[in-house]
Structure 1
Amino acid sequence: MNKSLSAIMSEDHDLFTKVPEITALFWITKVLTTGMGEVFSDFLVTQMNPVIAVLLGGAGLLAAIALQFFVRRYIAWIYWLVVVMVSIFGTMAADVLHIVIGVPYFVSTIFFAIILAVVFTVWLRVEKTLSIHSVFTFRREAFYWMTVLGTFALGTASGDMTATTMHLGYFSSGILFSLLLAVPAIGYWKFGMNPILSFWFAYVMTRPVGASFSDWLSKPHSLGGVGLGDGLVSLVLTIIIIILVGYLQITKIDAQNRTAVHAH
Protein backbone atom coordinates (compact mmCIF):
# COMPACT_ATOMS: atom_id res chain seq x y z
CA MET A 1 0.00 0.00 0.00
CA ASN A 2 1.22 3.50 -0.81
CA LYS A 3 1.88 5.79 2.13
CA SER A 4 -0.28 8.86 2.49
CA LEU A 5 1.22 12.21 1.49
CA SER A 6 1.09 13.44 5.09
CA ALA A 7 2.93 10.34 6.30
CA ILE A 8 5.67 10.79 3.71
CA MET A 9 6.05 14.47 4.58
CA SER A 10 6.24 13.62 8.29
CA GLU A 11 8.83 10.91 7.67
CA ASP A 12 10.98 13.20 5.52
CA HIS A 13 10.71 15.96 8.11
CA ASP A 14 11.92 13.60 10.82
CA LEU A 15 14.99 12.72 8.77
CA PHE A 16 16.63 16.05 9.43
CA THR A 17 19.32 15.42 12.02
CA LYS A 18 19.25 17.42 15.26
CA VAL A 19 23.00 17.98 15.70
CA PRO A 20 25.54 20.01 13.71
CA GLU A 21 28.13 18.91 11.21
CA ILE A 22 31.55 18.60 12.82
CA THR A 23 33.74 21.47 11.66
CA ALA A 24 36.61 23.47 13.11
CA LEU A 25 34.06 26.02 14.36
CA PHE A 26 32.23 23.23 16.19
CA TRP A 27 35.32 22.39 18.24
CA ILE A 28 36.19 26.03 18.88
CA THR A 29 32.66 26.76 20.10
CA LYS A 30 32.61 23.56 22.14
CA VAL A 31 35.82 24.46 24.00
CA LEU A 32 34.57 27.99 24.65
CA THR A 33 31.25 26.73 26.04
CA THR A 34 33.06 24.36 28.40
CA GLY A 35 35.17 27.19 29.72
CA MET A 36 32.22 29.53 30.03
CA GLY A 37 30.13 26.92 31.85
CA GLU A 38 32.93 26.21 34.31
CA VAL A 39 33.54 29.79 35.41
CA PHE A 40 29.93 30.94 35.21
CA SER A 41 28.90 28.05 37.46
CA ASP A 42 31.53 29.14 39.98
CA PHE A 43 30.35 32.74 39.63
CA LEU A 44 26.73 31.80 40.35
CA VAL A 45 27.42 29.74 43.46
CA THR A 46 29.53 32.54 44.94
CA GLN A 47 27.02 35.29 44.16
CA MET A 48 23.92 33.56 45.56
CA ASN A 49 22.84 30.69 47.74
CA PRO A 50 24.46 27.56 46.19
CA VAL A 51 21.21 25.58 46.46
CA ILE A 52 19.33 28.28 44.55
CA ALA A 53 22.14 28.42 41.98
CA VAL A 54 21.92 24.65 41.38
CA LEU A 55 18.13 24.82 41.10
CA LEU A 56 18.39 27.66 38.59
CA GLY A 57 20.99 25.73 36.62
CA GLY A 58 18.77 22.66 36.56
CA ALA A 59 15.70 24.67 35.53
CA GLY A 60 17.66 26.37 32.75
CA LEU A 61 18.88 23.02 31.47
CA LEU A 62 15.38 21.52 31.47
CA ALA A 63 13.98 24.53 29.61
CA ALA A 64 16.73 24.40 26.99
CA ILE A 65 16.34 20.64 26.53
CA ALA A 66 12.57 21.01 26.14
CA LEU A 67 13.11 23.64 23.44
CA GLN A 68 15.65 21.43 21.65
CA PHE A 69 13.27 18.46 21.60
CA PHE A 70 10.38 20.65 20.48
CA VAL A 71 12.07 21.78 17.25
CA ARG A 72 12.29 19.26 14.43
CA ARG A 73 15.72 19.97 13.02
CA TYR A 74 19.08 21.47 13.96
CA ILE A 75 18.88 25.15 14.91
CA ALA A 76 22.28 26.51 15.92
CA TRP A 77 21.29 28.88 18.73
CA ILE A 78 19.01 26.31 20.38
CA TYR A 79 21.58 23.52 20.15
CA TRP A 80 24.36 25.63 21.63
CA LEU A 81 22.05 26.99 24.33
CA VAL A 82 21.58 23.40 25.49
CA VAL A 83 25.35 22.81 25.39
CA VAL A 84 25.95 25.91 27.52
CA MET A 85 23.31 24.87 30.05
CA VAL A 86 24.71 21.33 30.16
CA SER A 87 28.13 22.85 30.77
CA ILE A 88 26.86 24.96 33.66
CA PHE A 89 24.80 22.22 35.27
CA GLY A 90 27.40 19.52 34.58
CA THR A 91 29.93 21.61 36.50
CA MET A 92 27.47 22.00 39.36
CA ALA A 93 26.74 18.26 39.45
CA ALA A 94 30.43 17.40 39.70
CA ASP A 95 31.03 20.11 42.31
CA VAL A 96 28.08 18.99 44.44
CA LEU A 97 29.53 15.50 44.71
CA HIS A 98 32.87 16.87 45.90
CA ILE A 99 32.04 20.02 47.89
CA VAL A 100 28.66 19.13 49.37
CA ILE A 101 28.82 15.35 49.70
CA GLY A 102 32.59 15.13 50.09
CA VAL A 103 33.30 12.61 47.33
CA PRO A 104 36.99 12.81 46.27
CA TYR A 105 37.57 13.91 42.66
CA PHE A 106 39.29 10.59 41.92
CA VAL A 107 36.16 8.69 42.97
CA SER A 108 33.75 11.04 41.15
CA THR A 109 35.87 10.76 37.98
CA ILE A 110 35.54 6.97 38.08
CA PHE A 111 31.83 7.28 38.92
CA PHE A 112 31.07 9.53 35.94
CA ALA A 113 33.25 7.37 33.66
CA ILE A 114 31.18 4.32 34.61
CA ILE A 115 27.92 6.21 34.02
CA LEU A 116 29.16 7.35 30.61
CA ALA A 117 30.22 3.81 29.71
CA VAL A 118 26.77 2.51 30.67
CA VAL A 119 25.05 5.15 28.53
CA PHE A 120 27.27 4.30 25.55
CA THR A 121 26.63 0.58 26.01
CA VAL A 122 22.85 0.94 26.22
CA TRP A 123 22.78 3.42 23.32
CA LEU A 124 24.79 1.06 21.10
CA ARG A 125 22.75 -1.99 22.09
CA VAL A 126 19.42 -0.26 21.45
CA GLU A 127 20.25 1.81 18.36
CA LYS A 128 23.14 -0.23 16.89
CA THR A 129 25.13 2.94 16.28
CA LEU A 130 26.70 5.83 18.16
CA SER A 131 27.03 8.00 15.07
CA ILE A 132 25.98 11.60 15.53
CA HIS A 133 24.86 11.58 11.89
CA SER A 134 21.96 9.35 12.91
CA VAL A 135 20.46 11.64 15.58
CA PHE A 136 17.06 12.23 13.98
CA THR A 137 14.69 10.36 16.32
CA PHE A 138 13.52 11.25 19.80
CA ARG A 139 15.19 8.23 21.40
CA ARG A 140 18.54 8.77 19.71
CA GLU A 141 18.48 12.42 20.66
CA ALA A 142 17.75 11.44 24.28
CA PHE A 143 20.78 9.14 24.25
CA TYR A 144 22.85 11.90 22.67
CA TRP A 145 22.08 14.46 25.36
CA MET A 146 22.51 11.95 28.19
CA THR A 147 25.95 11.24 26.74
CA VAL A 148 26.76 14.95 26.45
CA LEU A 149 25.78 15.53 30.09
CA GLY A 150 27.94 12.57 31.12
CA THR A 151 30.95 13.89 29.20
CA PHE A 152 30.66 17.30 30.86
CA ALA A 153 30.43 15.83 34.36
CA LEU A 154 33.35 13.47 33.67
CA GLY A 155 35.45 16.23 32.16
CA THR A 156 34.80 18.54 35.10
CA ALA A 157 35.70 15.90 37.68
CA SER A 158 38.83 14.77 35.83
CA GLY A 159 40.02 18.36 35.29
CA ASP A 160 39.56 19.19 38.97
CA MET A 161 41.28 15.93 39.90
CA THR A 162 44.44 16.76 37.96
CA ALA A 163 44.45 20.42 39.00
CA THR A 164 43.87 19.93 42.74
CA THR A 165 44.21 16.29 43.81
CA MET A 166 47.26 15.68 41.63
CA HIS A 167 48.51 19.27 42.25
CA LEU A 168 49.20 20.01 38.59
CA GLY A 169 47.44 23.36 38.71
CA TYR A 170 45.02 24.73 36.13
CA PHE A 171 47.50 25.68 33.42
CA SER A 172 49.41 22.39 33.49
CA SER A 173 46.12 20.49 33.52
CA GLY A 174 45.06 22.42 30.43
CA ILE A 175 48.28 21.47 28.67
CA LEU A 176 47.88 17.81 29.69
CA PHE A 177 44.33 17.55 28.38
CA SER A 178 45.26 19.47 25.23
CA LEU A 179 47.84 16.76 24.50
CA LEU A 180 45.20 14.10 25.14
CA LEU A 181 42.80 15.98 22.86
CA ALA A 182 45.41 15.78 20.10
CA VAL A 183 45.35 11.96 20.25
CA PRO A 184 41.98 11.44 18.53
CA ALA A 185 42.61 14.38 16.17
CA ILE A 186 45.91 12.95 14.92
CA GLY A 187 44.62 9.38 15.13
CA TYR A 188 41.66 10.16 12.87
CA TRP A 189 43.59 12.42 10.51
CA LYS A 190 46.73 10.34 10.03
CA PHE A 191 46.01 6.78 11.14
CA GLY A 192 42.40 6.10 10.24
CA MET A 193 41.13 5.96 13.81
CA ASN A 194 37.44 5.05 14.05
CA PRO A 195 35.52 8.31 13.49
CA ILE A 196 32.89 7.63 16.15
CA LEU A 197 35.52 6.75 18.76
CA SER A 198 37.59 9.76 17.71
CA PHE A 199 34.64 12.11 18.05
CA TRP A 200 33.54 11.01 21.52
CA PHE A 201 37.13 10.80 22.79
CA ALA A 202 37.70 14.37 21.66
CA TYR A 203 34.31 15.46 23.00
CA VAL A 204 35.22 14.27 26.49
CA MET A 205 38.65 15.92 26.36
CA THR A 206 37.36 19.33 25.29
CA ARG A 207 35.66 19.72 28.66
CA PRO A 208 38.77 19.68 30.88
CA VAL A 209 40.70 21.67 28.27
CA GLY A 210 38.23 24.56 28.29
CA ALA A 211 37.56 24.33 32.02
CA SER A 212 41.24 24.21 33.00
CA PHE A 213 42.26 27.24 30.96
CA SER A 214 39.21 29.27 31.98
CA ASP A 215 39.90 28.46 35.64
CA TRP A 216 43.52 29.46 35.12
CA LEU A 217 42.44 32.84 33.74
CA SER A 218 39.74 33.48 36.35
CA LYS A 219 41.04 32.12 39.64
CA PRO A 220 43.16 34.26 42.00
CA HIS A 221 46.95 34.06 42.19
CA SER A 222 46.69 32.17 45.49
CA LEU A 223 45.08 29.29 43.59
CA GLY A 224 47.54 29.40 40.71
CA GLY A 225 45.42 31.55 38.40
CA VAL A 226 45.83 34.84 36.58
CA GLY A 227 43.16 36.48 38.72
CA LEU A 228 40.84 38.01 36.11
CA GLY A 229 37.76 36.87 38.03
CA ASP A 230 34.92 34.47 37.22
CA GLY A 231 32.56 37.29 36.22
CA LEU A 232 34.86 38.92 33.69
CA VAL A 233 35.98 35.65 32.08
CA SER A 234 32.35 34.48 31.89
CA LEU A 235 31.32 37.72 30.21
CA VAL A 236 34.11 37.68 27.62
CA LEU A 237 33.51 34.01 26.74
CA THR A 238 29.76 34.60 26.50
CA ILE A 239 30.26 37.46 24.03
CA ILE A 240 32.58 35.34 21.85
CA ILE A 241 30.14 32.41 21.94
CA ILE A 242 27.23 34.66 20.93
CA ILE A 243 29.23 35.96 17.96
CA LEU A 244 30.23 32.46 16.81
CA VAL A 245 26.75 30.97 17.26
CA GLY A 246 25.20 33.98 15.53
CA TYR A 247 27.50 33.35 12.57
CA LEU A 248 26.53 29.66 12.49
CA GLN A 249 22.85 30.53 12.75
CA ILE A 250 22.99 33.02 9.87
CA THR A 251 25.23 31.04 7.51
CA LYS A 252 23.97 27.53 8.43
CA ILE A 253 27.36 26.20 7.35
CA ASP A 254 27.25 23.49 10.01
CA ALA A 255 23.80 22.12 9.18
CA GLN A 256 24.05 18.50 8.07
CA ASN A 257 22.45 17.95 4.68
CA ARG A 258 19.74 15.41 3.99
CA THR A 259 22.05 13.25 1.84
CA ALA A 260 24.33 12.63 4.84
CA VAL A 261 21.33 11.73 6.99
CA HIS A 262 19.94 9.27 4.46
CA ALA A 263 23.39 7.67 4.19
CA HIS A 264 23.26 6.79 7.89
Structure 2
Amino acid sequence: MTTEPLLDELPRTSRRRMANKVPEVTVYFWVIKVLTTGMGETASDWMARTLGPIPAVALGGLAFVAALAVQFSLRRYVAWVYWTAVVMVSVFGTMAADILHVGLGVPYTLSTPAFMVVLAAVFFIWHASEGTLSIHSIRTRRRETFYWATVLATFALGTAAGDLTAGIGLRYLGSAVLFAAAICVPAVAFRAGVLNAVGAFWAAYVITRPLGASLADWMALGQARGGLGFGLGPVTLAWTVAILGLVAYMAVTKRESRGETLAA
Protein backbone atom coordinates (compact mmCIF):
# COMPACT_ATOMS: atom_id res chain seq x y z
CA MET A 1 0.00 0.00 0.00
CA THR A 2 1.20 3.53 -0.66
CA THR A 3 1.54 6.03 2.12
CA GLU A 4 -1.78 7.78 2.79
CA PRO A 5 -1.85 11.55 2.13
CA LEU A 6 -1.98 13.90 5.09
CA LEU A 7 -5.41 15.37 5.74
CA ASP A 8 -4.07 18.92 5.36
CA GLU A 9 -2.83 18.05 1.85
CA LEU A 10 -6.33 17.19 0.64
CA PRO A 11 -8.22 19.76 -1.45
CA ARG A 12 -10.51 21.99 0.59
CA THR A 13 -13.54 20.65 -1.31
CA SER A 14 -12.78 17.09 -0.09
CA ARG A 15 -11.52 17.98 3.37
CA ARG A 16 -13.94 17.70 6.27
CA ARG A 17 -12.58 18.33 9.76
CA MET A 18 -13.74 15.12 11.42
CA ALA A 19 -12.37 12.72 13.96
CA ASN A 20 -11.88 9.17 12.71
CA LYS A 21 -15.37 7.74 12.19
CA VAL A 22 -14.69 4.08 13.03
CA PRO A 23 -13.67 2.39 16.31
CA GLU A 24 -10.26 1.03 17.20
CA VAL A 25 -9.79 -2.59 16.16
CA THR A 26 -9.75 -4.40 19.48
CA VAL A 27 -11.00 -7.78 20.70
CA TYR A 28 -14.33 -6.10 21.47
CA PHE A 29 -14.57 -4.91 17.87
CA TRP A 30 -14.23 -8.44 16.50
CA VAL A 31 -16.68 -9.96 18.99
CA ILE A 32 -19.36 -7.41 18.17
CA LYS A 33 -18.65 -7.74 14.45
CA VAL A 34 -19.29 -11.49 14.57
CA LEU A 35 -22.45 -10.93 16.62
CA THR A 36 -23.80 -8.38 14.13
CA THR A 37 -23.23 -10.76 11.23
CA GLY A 38 -25.18 -13.54 12.89
CA MET A 39 -27.94 -11.24 14.08
CA GLY A 40 -28.26 -9.76 10.58
CA GLU A 41 -28.57 -13.23 9.06
CA THR A 42 -31.36 -14.45 11.33
CA ALA A 43 -33.13 -11.07 11.47
CA SER A 44 -33.28 -10.93 7.67
CA ASP A 45 -34.73 -14.44 7.44
CA TRP A 46 -37.18 -13.78 10.30
CA MET A 47 -38.43 -10.57 8.65
CA ALA A 48 -38.88 -12.31 5.30
CA ARG A 49 -40.92 -15.11 6.88
CA THR A 50 -42.97 -12.83 9.12
CA LEU A 51 -43.64 -9.87 6.82
CA GLY A 52 -43.10 -11.43 3.42
CA PRO A 53 -40.07 -10.89 1.15
CA ILE A 54 -41.12 -7.60 -0.47
CA PRO A 55 -42.18 -5.74 2.73
CA ALA A 56 -39.10 -7.11 4.49
CA VAL A 57 -36.73 -5.81 1.81
CA ALA A 58 -38.52 -2.44 1.74
CA LEU A 59 -38.35 -2.07 5.52
CA GLY A 60 -34.75 -3.29 5.63
CA GLY A 61 -33.77 -0.85 2.88
CA LEU A 62 -35.37 2.11 4.64
CA ALA A 63 -33.71 1.23 7.95
CA PHE A 64 -30.38 0.78 6.16
CA VAL A 65 -30.59 4.22 4.52
CA ALA A 66 -31.72 5.87 7.77
CA ALA A 67 -28.91 4.31 9.81
CA LEU A 68 -26.25 5.40 7.32
CA ALA A 69 -27.76 8.90 7.11
CA VAL A 70 -27.37 9.32 10.86
CA GLN A 71 -23.83 7.90 10.72
CA PHE A 72 -22.82 10.31 7.94
CA SER A 73 -24.36 13.29 9.76
CA LEU A 74 -21.89 12.99 12.64
CA ARG A 75 -18.35 14.39 12.76
CA ARG A 76 -16.98 11.77 15.16
CA TYR A 77 -17.37 8.13 16.12
CA VAL A 78 -20.41 7.40 18.30
CA ALA A 79 -20.61 3.76 19.36
CA TRP A 80 -24.35 3.15 19.19
CA VAL A 81 -24.74 5.01 15.88
CA TYR A 82 -21.83 3.19 14.25
CA TRP A 83 -22.93 -0.28 15.37
CA THR A 84 -26.55 0.38 14.44
CA ALA A 85 -25.33 1.16 10.94
CA VAL A 86 -23.28 -2.07 10.89
CA VAL A 87 -26.33 -4.08 11.99
CA MET A 88 -28.49 -2.57 9.26
CA VAL A 89 -25.77 -3.19 6.66
CA SER A 90 -25.74 -6.79 7.89
CA VAL A 91 -29.50 -7.15 7.52
CA PHE A 92 -29.66 -5.47 4.13
CA GLY A 93 -26.51 -7.17 2.85
CA THR A 94 -28.09 -10.52 3.67
CA MET A 95 -31.22 -9.49 1.81
CA ALA A 96 -29.20 -8.44 -1.24
CA ALA A 97 -27.52 -11.84 -1.46
CA ASP A 98 -30.79 -13.68 -0.82
CA ILE A 99 -32.65 -11.70 -3.47
CA LEU A 100 -30.18 -12.86 -6.10
CA HIS A 101 -30.46 -16.49 -5.03
CA VAL A 102 -34.10 -16.89 -3.98
CA GLY A 103 -35.74 -14.18 -6.05
CA LEU A 104 -33.70 -14.32 -9.25
CA GLY A 105 -32.42 -17.89 -9.05
CA VAL A 106 -28.73 -16.97 -9.23
CA PRO A 107 -26.71 -19.86 -7.72
CA TYR A 108 -24.26 -19.15 -4.91
CA THR A 109 -21.51 -20.58 -7.10
CA LEU A 110 -22.06 -17.56 -9.34
CA SER A 111 -23.02 -14.85 -6.84
CA THR A 112 -20.04 -15.55 -4.56
CA PRO A 113 -17.37 -14.79 -7.22
CA ALA A 114 -19.54 -11.92 -8.50
CA PHE A 115 -19.52 -10.26 -5.07
CA MET A 116 -15.76 -10.89 -4.90
CA VAL A 117 -15.36 -8.90 -8.10
CA VAL A 118 -17.55 -6.11 -6.70
CA LEU A 119 -15.47 -5.97 -3.52
CA ALA A 120 -12.21 -5.97 -5.48
CA ALA A 121 -13.53 -3.11 -7.63
CA VAL A 122 -14.45 -1.05 -4.56
CA PHE A 123 -10.98 -1.66 -3.09
CA PHE A 124 -9.30 -0.69 -6.36
CA ILE A 125 -11.25 2.55 -6.76
CA TRP A 126 -10.82 3.46 -3.08
CA HIS A 127 -7.06 2.94 -3.17
CA ALA A 128 -6.67 4.65 -6.52
CA SER A 129 -8.56 7.65 -5.18
CA GLU A 130 -7.17 7.89 -1.64
CA GLY A 131 -3.86 6.02 -1.67
CA THR A 132 -4.83 3.90 1.34
CA LEU A 133 -7.40 1.39 2.58
CA SER A 134 -6.63 2.00 6.24
CA ILE A 135 -9.62 2.43 8.53
CA HIS A 136 -7.56 4.82 10.68
CA SER A 137 -7.96 7.49 8.01
CA ILE A 138 -11.78 7.70 7.75
CA ARG A 139 -11.86 11.47 8.28
CA THR A 140 -13.45 12.72 5.06
CA ARG A 141 -16.88 12.13 3.55
CA ARG A 142 -15.35 10.49 0.48
CA ARG A 143 -13.34 8.00 2.53
CA GLU A 144 -16.35 7.29 4.68
CA THR A 145 -18.38 6.54 1.53
CA PHE A 146 -15.71 4.11 0.32
CA TYR A 147 -15.60 2.50 3.77
CA TRP A 148 -19.33 1.79 3.93
CA ALA A 149 -19.46 0.62 0.30
CA THR A 150 -16.73 -1.86 1.23
CA VAL A 151 -18.58 -2.98 4.36
CA LEU A 152 -21.77 -3.60 2.35
CA ALA A 153 -19.85 -5.58 -0.27
CA THR A 154 -18.17 -7.73 2.41
CA PHE A 155 -21.53 -8.57 3.98
CA ALA A 156 -23.08 -9.58 0.65
CA LEU A 157 -20.00 -11.66 -0.22
CA GLY A 158 -19.87 -13.32 3.19
CA THR A 159 -23.56 -14.21 3.07
CA ALA A 160 -23.22 -15.86 -0.32
CA ALA A 161 -20.01 -17.68 0.67
CA GLY A 162 -21.50 -18.98 3.92
CA ASP A 163 -24.61 -20.30 2.19
CA LEU A 164 -22.44 -21.83 -0.52
CA THR A 165 -20.36 -23.88 1.93
CA ALA A 166 -23.44 -24.85 3.96
CA GLY A 167 -25.11 -26.13 0.81
CA ILE A 168 -22.26 -28.33 -0.40
CA GLY A 169 -22.28 -30.74 2.52
CA LEU A 170 -20.61 -28.89 5.39
CA ARG A 171 -23.90 -27.65 6.83
CA TYR A 172 -23.88 -24.76 9.27
CA LEU A 173 -21.73 -26.14 12.07
CA GLY A 174 -19.16 -27.44 9.60
CA SER A 175 -19.15 -24.07 7.86
CA ALA A 176 -18.65 -22.29 11.19
CA VAL A 177 -15.66 -24.50 11.98
CA LEU A 178 -14.23 -23.90 8.51
CA PHE A 179 -14.50 -20.14 8.78
CA ALA A 180 -13.25 -20.13 12.39
CA ALA A 181 -10.09 -21.79 11.10
CA ALA A 182 -9.96 -19.48 8.07
CA ILE A 183 -10.12 -16.31 10.17
CA CYS A 184 -6.89 -17.35 11.90
CA VAL A 185 -5.00 -17.30 8.60
CA PRO A 186 -4.80 -13.49 8.21
CA ALA A 187 -3.67 -13.14 11.84
CA VAL A 188 -0.93 -15.73 11.36
CA ALA A 189 0.12 -14.18 8.04
CA PHE A 190 0.30 -10.75 9.68
CA ARG A 191 2.39 -12.04 12.59
CA ALA A 192 4.70 -13.79 10.14
CA GLY A 193 5.19 -10.61 8.13
CA VAL A 194 3.58 -12.07 5.01
CA LEU A 195 0.55 -9.76 5.08
CA ASN A 196 0.41 -6.14 6.18
CA ALA A 197 -2.02 -4.84 8.79
CA VAL A 198 -4.50 -3.38 6.30
CA GLY A 199 -4.65 -6.55 4.20
CA ALA A 200 -4.99 -8.74 7.30
CA PHE A 201 -7.80 -6.57 8.65
CA TRP A 202 -9.92 -6.68 5.52
CA ALA A 203 -9.34 -10.41 4.99
CA ALA A 204 -10.52 -11.11 8.54
CA TYR A 205 -13.39 -8.66 8.15
CA VAL A 206 -14.74 -10.56 5.15
CA ILE A 207 -14.50 -13.90 6.96
CA THR A 208 -16.41 -12.68 10.04
CA ARG A 209 -19.56 -12.53 7.94
CA PRO A 210 -19.87 -16.23 7.01
CA LEU A 211 -18.52 -17.19 10.45
CA GLY A 212 -21.20 -15.30 12.37
CA ALA A 213 -23.96 -16.20 9.92
CA SER A 214 -23.10 -19.91 10.03
CA LEU A 215 -23.11 -19.91 13.85
CA ALA A 216 -26.45 -18.09 14.02
CA ASP A 217 -28.07 -20.36 11.42
CA TRP A 218 -26.77 -23.41 13.27
CA MET A 219 -28.42 -22.18 16.46
CA ALA A 220 -31.68 -21.07 14.80
CA LEU A 221 -32.56 -23.64 12.17
CA GLY A 222 -34.09 -27.08 12.72
CA GLN A 223 -32.33 -30.40 13.08
CA ALA A 224 -33.41 -31.42 9.58
CA ARG A 225 -31.10 -28.67 8.31
CA GLY A 226 -28.30 -29.49 10.72
CA GLY A 227 -29.21 -26.90 13.35
CA LEU A 228 -30.19 -26.78 17.01
CA GLY A 229 -33.70 -25.53 16.31
CA PHE A 230 -33.87 -22.56 18.71
CA GLY A 231 -35.76 -20.50 16.12
CA LEU A 232 -34.99 -17.36 14.12
CA GLY A 233 -36.80 -14.98 16.47
CA PRO A 234 -35.20 -16.15 19.75
CA VAL A 235 -31.70 -16.25 18.25
CA THR A 236 -32.13 -12.77 16.75
CA LEU A 237 -33.30 -11.44 20.12
CA ALA A 238 -30.49 -13.13 22.07
CA TRP A 239 -27.76 -11.87 19.75
CA THR A 240 -29.30 -8.38 19.75
CA VAL A 241 -29.20 -8.28 23.55
CA ALA A 242 -25.55 -9.37 23.48
CA ILE A 243 -24.70 -6.61 20.97
CA LEU A 244 -26.51 -3.97 23.03
CA GLY A 245 -24.72 -5.07 26.18
CA LEU A 246 -21.25 -4.94 24.64
CA VAL A 247 -21.83 -1.63 22.84
CA ALA A 248 -23.15 -0.07 26.06
CA TYR A 249 -20.14 -1.40 27.96
CA MET A 250 -17.69 0.06 25.46
CA ALA A 251 -19.51 3.38 25.28
CA VAL A 252 -19.32 3.74 29.06
CA THR A 253 -15.77 2.46 29.57
CA LYS A 254 -14.29 3.88 26.31
CA ARG A 255 -12.63 0.50 25.75
CA GLU A 256 -12.51 1.05 21.99
CA SER A 257 -10.22 4.02 22.35
CA ARG A 258 -8.08 2.58 25.15
CA GLY A 259 -7.84 -1.05 24.07
CA GLU A 260 -4.98 -2.63 22.19
CA THR A 261 -5.30 -2.13 18.46
CA LEU A 262 -5.07 -5.48 16.69
CA ALA A 263 -5.00 -4.58 13.02
CA ALA A 264 -5.33 -2.01 10.26
TM-score (norm 2): 0.90
Question: In the aligned structure 1, how far is the partner of 2:157 from the partner of 2:258?
Answer: 28
Aligned length: 247
Q: Which runs of 5+ in 1 are unaligned?
A: 1-10
Question: In the aligned structure 1, how far is the partner of 2:81 from the partner of 2:192?
Answer: 34
1:187 aligns with 2:189: yes
Give aligned-pair identity as a percent.
51
1:32-181 alignment, distance < 5 Å: 32-164=35-167, 166-181=168-183
Q: Which runs of 5+ in 2 are unaligned?
A: 1-14
Partner residue in 1 for 2:5: none
Q: Which amino acid aligns with 2:46?
A: F
- Residues 201 and 86 of structure 1, relative CA distance in 2, 3 Å threshold: same
Question: In the aligned structure 2, how far is the partner of 1:155 from the partner of 1:90?
Answer: 9
Partner residue in 2 for 1:213: 215
Q: Which amino acid aligns with 1:183?
A: V
SS at match of 1:213: helix
Task: Name which of 16, 19, 34 aligns with 1:16.
Answer: 19
Question: In the aligned structure 2, how far is the partner of 1:146 from the partner of 1:243?
Answer: 27
Question: In the aligned structure 2, how far is the partner of 1:22 from the partner of 1:61?
Answer: 23
Q: Structure 1, residues 186-241: CA drift from partner, whole Å, max 9, x if none?
A: 22234462000000000000000000011001001111111000000001000000
Q: Which amino acid aligns with 2:99?
A: V
Q: Which amino acid aligns with 1:21?
A: E
1:52 is displaced (CA, Å) by: 0.5
Q: Which amino acid aligns with 2:169?
A: H
SS at match of 2:183: helix
Q: Which amino acid aligns with 1:82?
A: A
CA contact (8 A) 1:41 1:91 kept: yes
Partner residue in 2 for 1:223: 225
1:255 is displaced (CA, Å) by: 3.4
Q: What stretches of structure 1 move > 4 A for 4+ residues in a row?
A: none
Partner residue in 1 for 2:239: 237
TM-score (norm 1): 0.90
Partner residue in 1 for 2:7: none
1:196 aligns with 2:198: yes
CA contact (8 A) 2:18 2:75 kept: no
